[in-house]
Amino acid sequence: MRLGGFWGLMAAALLAGLAFAALTNNEYYFFAAYAILQALIMAIAWNILGGFTGYVNFGSAGFFAVGAYSTVALHKFLPSIGIDAPLFVHVLAGAVVCGLIGLGTGYLTLRLRGVYFAIATLALAIVGQTFMNNWGYVGAAKGTSILTPDPPQLFWGYVSFSSYVKYLFVVMLLLSLMAIVISRYIATSRFGRGLAAIRDDELAAECMGVPTLRLKLISATVMGALMGVAGAPYPFMVTFVDPQSAFSLVIAVNSIAMPMIGGTAYWYGPVVGALLLGTAQEVLSVTISSELNVFLVGVVLVGCVILAPRGLVGLVNDMRAKAKRHG
Amino acid sequence: MAERILSVKALTKRFGGFVALDCVDLQLDEGERLGLIGPNGSGKTTMINCISGALLCDQGTIIFKGADITRLAAHRRTRRGIVRSFQIPRPFRTMTILQNLMVPMEYAVAPGARGGDLETEARDILDVVGFRGRANDNSGRLTQVDMRKLELARALAAKPRLLISDEAMAGLSSSEVDEILDILFKLNGRGVAVIMIEHIMRAVFRFSERVVVLDAGRKIAEGTPAQIVKDPLVERAYLGV
């Protein structure tokens, strides 16, 4: 993709999102779009470690939940010392906390490979859930409620939002675009080529001069930070957070399924997967039943693994290459 | 006299109770061609794993270009000039041939160098191994001999001062063996020291100036190819008589 094409597309997505926010008033649409964008950021985050680096991670829901809980804790703590923090402080805090946890857990688990690594990450997510279940300050197992703040006035009152949900949607849109830019930058950089070498053959990569442990740790940190970014606004959206829903397996499975369906080797794979699957899930939830969307993920994932093991992007690329070869 | 480039002293490596290498010494001069032979399981691959850093040795020291590298991580050794190829080719399968070469160029040789310059250099290396015009082939779909060549090409891209070639010729036909030998001679002509591990004696004896023989983790003989062929210990190790 040409450089101009990419930035043009990003600008178009931003403008379309803003126009949507300016012209629509039905809050449901913003809920739905928020859910899709949240999944998009998580898919991108998962793909940086799972797709680019080849370390399949089942703990993504854990990072997301820690991001959400960092907001819950800060939202409770900061007012108690007289500080009223805007949303971006919470997002930043979520990114830092989860980035550090990504680094720490990466240091513990990234010496393991394949199935062992996957199991270790799953175990760590359970450790996180157990911790939250017992941490009274953030509500422990019974959860905690958060009052939706008033929609903020930005730029000295020139920009205002009719509802907080709409504001959250715009924030999430910006964060999604940022995640896409980061992911694309990684994929096309020297760092990304190092990660690809690790994914293809870690020992060969190390012997070719790639500092594999350091690259894996950076990758885990970026993954964690982006997961935290996705989770931080979540409490304001749903207004009630408990460990059961924040650590939900559905969230974890979605963030794995979307990159797999889109294509893990490409920076735009998770974007394609999240937009298609996320939209389909929202539509199904409304038209048929909310249980069906979990079923949908399973069916589409199995279908993709069999028919398009390198994802939809890989499938389309293969088909184009074949068409080119045959004239 | 040429300068000493590698000096391995009393190298020992155990796997549990099994002693894979037992106090092995090895010296190599700048630009030298050394053959490392021995029966299966004699410790050849363990030896080069220890030298290249894929494994850390239990005892002993490894001095490379005057510096102690015994505890150094593998990627740092590569940056200093010790580069190996693998017995079973390990290409980066999702990458093209050219991209395979870019990995060591970007990471081992020139962190921060410009992509365009590196690409020209990579294409030169592809010419040396006979991959002209195939830079964009998918590396996962190569034939055996091409994979071996890619293994060597990628090692060359890391700009070695010492190349360790681990059975680059196993299973190849006689003419293919000559092709690989040609590449190694060309490389050595540029002043790179080479340790060749090989079972194909014709190739080892043609290539090496000096041969070291391992058996059951010990060095049992060392000398010119002519001396080694006549060595009774070597005969016994190979034929079991």
- Region A8-35: mean pLDDT is 90
Which residues on chain A are in Cβ contact (under 8 Å) with B108? 208-209
Structural domain range at position B170? 4-239
Contact B108 A199 (CB under 8 A): no
The C-alpha of A90 sits at a distance from chain B's nearest C-alpha, in angstroms, of 35
Q: Higher confidence at residue A158 or residue B115?
A: A158
Considering its fold, how many domains does chain B have in total?
A: 1
| pTM confidence score | 0.89
- Region B28-37: mean pLDDT is 93
User: Nearest-CA neighbor of A211 among B94, B103, B28?
Assistant: B103
Q: Has domain A3-248 been given CATH number 1.20.1300?
A: no
**B241 — pLDDT class (breaks 50, 70, 90):** low
Rounded Cα–Cα distance for residues B140 and B147 (Å): 9
**A148 — pLDDT class (breaks 50, 70, 90):** confident
DSSP string, A103-163: HHHHHHHTTS-HHHHHHHHHHHHHHHHHHHHT-GGGTGGG-EE-PPPPPPEETTTTEE-SS
At residue A80, the pLDDT reads 85
DSSP letter assigned to residue B37? E
Residue A212 has pLDDT above 90, yes or no: yes
The partner residue sitting opposite A197, judged by closest CB among B83, B103, B109, is B103
Which residues on chain B are in Cβ contact (under 8 Å) with A204? 86, 90-92
Count of alpha carbons within 13 Å of A247, Cβ hemisphere only? 23
Q: What is the dihedral of CA B69, B74, B75, B76, to 10 degrees?
A: -10
Residue A310 has pLDDT above 90, yes or no: no
- Region A115-129: mean pLDDT is 89
User: What are the φ and ψ backbone dihedral angles of B65, each rounded to 5 degrees?
Assistant: 50, 45
Per DSSP, the three-state class of B6 is: strand
At residue B113, the pLDDT reads 61
Contact A201 B54 (CB under 8 A): no
Mean pLDDT of chain B: 88
Write down the residue that tokens 């939940």 correspond to.
Answer: A65
At residue B1, the pLDDT reads 55
Contact B102 A193 (CB under 8 A): yes
pLDDT tens for B57-114 read: 999 999 999 999 999 999 999 999 999 998 888 999 989 999 999 999 989 887 666 6
Least confident of A151-160, A220-229, B32-41, B170-179: A151-160
At residue B75, the pLDDT reads 93
**ipTM value for the complex:** 0.88
Q: Higher confidence at residue A324 or residue B38?
A: B38
Per DSSP, the three-state class of B11 is: strand
Rounded Cα–Cα distance for residues A281 and A35 (Å): 10
Mean pLDDT of chain A: 89
Contact A211 B158 (CB under 8 A): no
Which of B75, B136, B139, B142 best tests the A interface by mutation, with the highest count of A CBs <10 A?
Answer: B75
Give the CATH number for residue B119. 3.40.50.300
Structure tokens belonging to residue B135: 């830079």
- Region B201-214: mean pLDDT is 91
* Cβ pairs A/B, distance under 8 A: 77
Q: Does A196 touch chain B (CB under 8 A)?
A: yes
Q: Which are the contacts of A8, defined by CB distance < 8 A and separation ≥ 6?
A: none
Angle separating helix axes B174-189 and B144-157, nearest 10 degrees:
10
Which residues on chain A are in Cβ contact (under 8 Å) with B52? 207
Nearest 5°: the CA angle B40, B46, B47 is 105
